[in-house]
Amino acid sequence: MEFVGKKYKLVSSENFDEFMKAIGAGMILRKAANTVTPIVELRKDGDYFVLISSSTFKTVEIKFKPGEEFEEERFDGVKMKSVCTFEGNTLKHVQKDAEGNVVTNVREFGPDEMKTVMTLKDIVCTRMYKAC
């Protein structure tokens, strides 16, 4: 897990606005979110991991133990039940809201970049990050 403690900065994004619409984010939140370049970092804290996404707009932090369900609040304030699992250098983060919508975030960490693929039903968003 050589990627733990490494920071990655967003460099490109495909279909992010459509994905944000699909999860129900309003126009003002979408416009703000589309203007920022977050930095993502994964840290280890004992048996737990902490995933931090920070920008000038907002910082979101989740603390999880792999394979165990936890509650989180998504960046738009929606409460979610989530589970994170690792397979090699890939972190799969599955979020379920109260209406039964399921969002899957797959983050593939590399030495120089991180690729995130977010999926809700048939809407797919891909975001690329470079190590910084």
pLDDT tens-digit series, residues 19-36? 999 988 889 888 888 888
Half-sphere exposure of 122 (CA within 13 A, CB side): 0
pLDDT tens-digit series, residues 92-102? 999 999 989 99
pTM for the predicted model, two decimal places: 0.91
Tell me the domains of the chain and their CATH numbers: 6-131 (2.40.128.20)
Both structure tokens of 73: 């609040």
Half-sphere exposure of 132 (CA within 13 A, CB side): 13
Rounded-to-integer distance, Cα 58 and Cα 92, Å? 22
pLDDT at 111: 92
pLDDT tens-digit series, residues 70-95? 999 887 788 999 999 999 999 999 99
pLDDT tens-digit series, residues 34-71? 888 999 999 999 999 999 999 887 888 999 999 999 99
